[in-house]
A and B are shown apart, each in its own frame.
Chain A
Amino acid sequence: MAKDYDSRRLVHIGAERVSNVSSTDFPGHYPNEDHSWNLQKFKERLQVKIQRLSNRSIDFDLVGVDASIANAFRRILIAEVPTIAIERVYVWDNTSVIVDEVLSHRLGLIPLNIDPALMAFKSHTDDVATDRNTLVFNVDITCTRNPNPPPPKPNEEPSPSDLYLNHELLSKHLVWKPAGDQESVFEGLSPPGPTNPNIVLAKLRPGQAISMELHAVKGVGKDHAKFSPVATASYRLLPHIKITKPIPPPLGKKFQKCFSPGVIKIDPNTGEVSVDEENVRKDSVSREALRHPEFADSVELSRVRDFFLFNIETESAYPPERLFPEAVRVMREKISIIRNAAEALKAQLEGTTDVEMVEA
């Protein structure tokens, strides 16, 4: 049985254009219909269904909210959920071929495994570094010749790892220097460091050395992309395919090929063509079917306006399932700050009118 959606929920997709893009569920759009805010009604329509969860990513459906809400969460995930990253690099020695500023930039981009909840923001960038807002790492590496290189193989170039010691600066060479009570804060957790130990940061040759002190702080993606906790945070709208006229069985295969694999089912006995509602989300909505005159009148393509298929990939200390609640938390924090300010403004204005009335 094909799933049917209220036509008001559908964004129509034509061969050359999309229409019915804007949502219409607000007061004044339809005569004598109440579309004003109602939490109970909203809760009845709201659905969240987690589809897939891995150690790095999550796919879930968010159904029954407006695009402005879904987009707010997406934007917060990219730009406003805090993480820890290296912000200051003090270079004592760097004789490698990578210049200080390029190396510093590379260091900043290393994802760290530190739970941001354990750290505080610096209230200003020039604030004094304390054990609550800064983590210190040291890098000290000198490349030397290997005193006992393995015997060279015939017709083969000797590899740098055989000839030299410490010929690569890797992310695992960052050594955490606990300060203050940091040791007890991170007790029982994996020690602060890069999430991936094998990121190549610089290549060295005998005689070259790097000696640096790195300060990691808490920040948000809108300040610098290195603080963004996600690799991607995106959503698509659920595709909806409606077959309006039966597809003749001889054309079934051709019709099936107009869509992504698995989206169109063909009954092996009757040759009846139908849409697989479980797999319709896999469709890329290429509109290929609309290019063929024999199909153009038999199918209607659309997307469901309030059905968001979220995909979030973590690239930070947050497990993927924790990212969305963090985004909601950040959103609610913002709302509460604005609301307090608005209420204070209201009280202030009421206060002034009262005074005037007394004076009059």
Chain B
Amino acid sequence: MAESIPKIKILQGAAPDLSAATYQIHDESHTIGNALRWMLMKNRILWLQVKIPSFKSFVPVSAVSSPTFLSFLPPKAVDSPCRLIIKMMSDHPFPSVPHPSENVINVRIQMYDDLSSLDALVEALGNLDNLCESIEDTYLEDLRKNNHETWREES
């Protein structure tokens, strides 16, 4: 039997305090990757940073999106070490991976103020679950109300 693959792995190049790290999530794709990226972008820490007066001119470029690379980068003009960068690569050629056809996504999270990116990841996952729950509840509630048009479709 092959060795069981961990669901999440921290890739090489992470800060010792995990303020910046790349997480490799096994057996996941853009389905969860993009939703997770969006939720990480909603991280409250960034909002607290933006509130500091010297950042009034802070206008980040909007999310760059392409099939394999998604990132959110504040402009270079901001003279601050603070960044929150979320990168997602589905086909990152990482040497320590046992198989060439990888079924993984890499999520890079860099935090302000040396906060833990792992905490941000756990928090984002929790928020994403709350979001799904409220969507499901709202859907089922509307279905129960039964005030939609019904019709018969022949196959």
Q: Which residues of A come within 8 Å of B, CB atoms? A: 22-24, 26-29, 31-32, 34-37, 39, 42-43, 46-57, 60, 62, 65-66, 68-69, 71-72, 75-76, 79-80, 196, 321, 324-325, 328-329, 331-332, 334-343, 345-346, 349
Q: Which residue of A lies closest to B8 (CB)?
A: A341
Q: A113 → chain B, closest Cβ, in Å? A: 12
In the bound complex, do residue A53 and residue B149 qualify as a contact, i.e. CB atoms below 8 Å apart? yes
In the bound complex, do residue A325 and residue B136 qualify as a contact, i.e. CB atoms below 8 Å apart? yes
Q: Which residues of B come within 8 Å of A, CB atoms? A: 6-8, 10, 18, 23, 25, 28-32, 34-35, 37-39, 41-44, 46-47, 49-51, 55-60, 62-63, 65, 72, 74, 118-119, 121-122, 125-136, 138-143, 148-153, 155
In the bound complex, do residue A349 and residue B125 qualify as a contact, i.e. CB atoms below 8 Å apart? no
For residue A49, which residues in chain B have a CB less than 8 angstroms away from its CB? 142, 148
Q: Which residue of B lies closest to A39 (CB)?
A: B130
For residue A340, which residues in chain B have a CB less than 8 angstroms away from its CB? 7
Q: Mind listing 17 A-B residue pairs with CB under 8 Å?
A: A26-B72, A27-B41, A28-B74, A29-B60, A37-B39, A37-B44, A43-B134, A46-B135, A48-B135, A60-B139, A65-B135, A69-B35, A324-B139, A331-B35, A339-B125, A342-B125, A349-B18
Query: Please, how many angstroms separate the alpha-carbon atoms of A275 and B126 in the complex?
Result: 42
Query: Please, how many angstroms separate the alpha-carbon atoms of A79 and B27 in the complex?
Result: 13
For residue A338, which residues in chain B have a CB less than 8 angstroms away from its CB? 7-8, 25, 28, 32, 125
In the bound complex, do residue A39 and residue B58 qualify as a contact, i.e. CB atoms below 8 Å apart? no
How many A-B contacts if CB must be within 8 Å? 176
In the bound complex, do residue A52 and residue B149 qualify as a contact, i.e. CB atoms below 8 Å apart? yes
In the bound complex, do residue B42 and residue A339 qualify as a contact, i.e. CB atoms below 8 Å apart? no
Query: Please, how many angstroms separate the alpha-carbon atoms of A82 and B58 in the complex?
Result: 45
Q: A221 → chain B, closest Cβ, in Å? A: 12
For residue A62, which residues in chain B have a CB less than 8 angstroms away from its CB? 135
Tell me whether A334 and B47 are in contact in the complex, defined as CB-CB below 8 angstroms, given that A52-B151, A66-B38 are known contacts.
no
Q: Which of B8, B135, B138 is A342 in contact with, Cβ under 8 Å?
A: B8
For residue A343, which residues in chain B have a CB less than 8 angstroms away from its CB? 122
For residue B51, which residues in chain A have a CB less than 8 angstroms away from its CB? 32
Interface centre among A36, A62, A343 (most CB of B within 10 A): A36
In the bound complex, do residue B131 and residue A325 qualify as a contact, i.e. CB atoms below 8 Å apart? no
Tell me whether A328 and B150 are in contact in the complex, defined as CB-CB below 8 angstroms, given that A29-B60, A68-B34 are known contacts.
no
Q: Which of B8, B62, B153 is A56 in contact with, Cβ under 8 Å?
A: B153
* A-B complex: 10 closest residue pairs judged by Cβ atoms: A341-B7, A27-B47, A36-B44, A37-B42, A22-B62, A54-B153, A27-B46, A36-B47, A68-B34, A68-B38
In the bound complex, do residue A72 and residue B32 qualify as a contact, i.e. CB atoms below 8 Å apart? yes
Query: Please, how many angstroms separate the alpha-carbon atoms of A54 and B52 in the complex?
Result: 53
In the bound complex, do residue B8 and residue A28 qualify as a contact, i.e. CB atoms below 8 Å apart? no
Tell me whether A46 and B153 are in contact in the complex, defined as CB-CB below 8 angstroms, given that A28-B47, A39-B127, A51-B148 are known contacts.
no
Tell me whether A42 and B44 are in contact in the complex, defined as CB-CB below 8 angstroms, given that A72-B32, A342-B125, A349-B18 are known contacts.
no
Query: Please, how many angstroms separate the alpha-carbon atoms of A196 and B154 in the complex?
Result: 12
For residue B39, which residues in chain A have a CB less than 8 angstroms away from its CB? 37
In the bound complex, do residue B152 and residue A55 qualify as a contact, i.e. CB atoms below 8 Å apart? yes
For residue B119, which residues in chain A have a CB less than 8 angstroms away from its CB? 346
For residue B133, which residues in chain A have a CB less than 8 angstroms away from its CB? 332
Tell me whether A35 and B60 are in contact in the complex, defined as CB-CB below 8 angstroms, given that A72-B34, A345-B118 are known contacts.
no
Q: A30 → chain B, closest Cβ, in Å? A: 8
In the bound complex, do residue A50 and residue B125 qualify as a contact, i.e. CB atoms below 8 Å apart? no
Q: Which of A22, A48, A71, A345 is B10 in contact with, Cβ under 8 Å?
A: A345
For residue A324, which residues in chain B have a CB less than 8 angstroms away from its CB? 139
Q: B59 → chain A, closest Cβ, in Å? A: 7
Q: Which residue of A lies closest to B30 (CB)?
A: A75
For residue B30, which residues in chain A have a CB less than 8 angstroms away from its CB? 75
For residue A69, which residues in chain B have a CB less than 8 angstroms away from its CB? 35, 38, 131, 135
Q: Which of B46, B60, B132 is A332 in contact with, Cβ under 8 Å?
A: B132
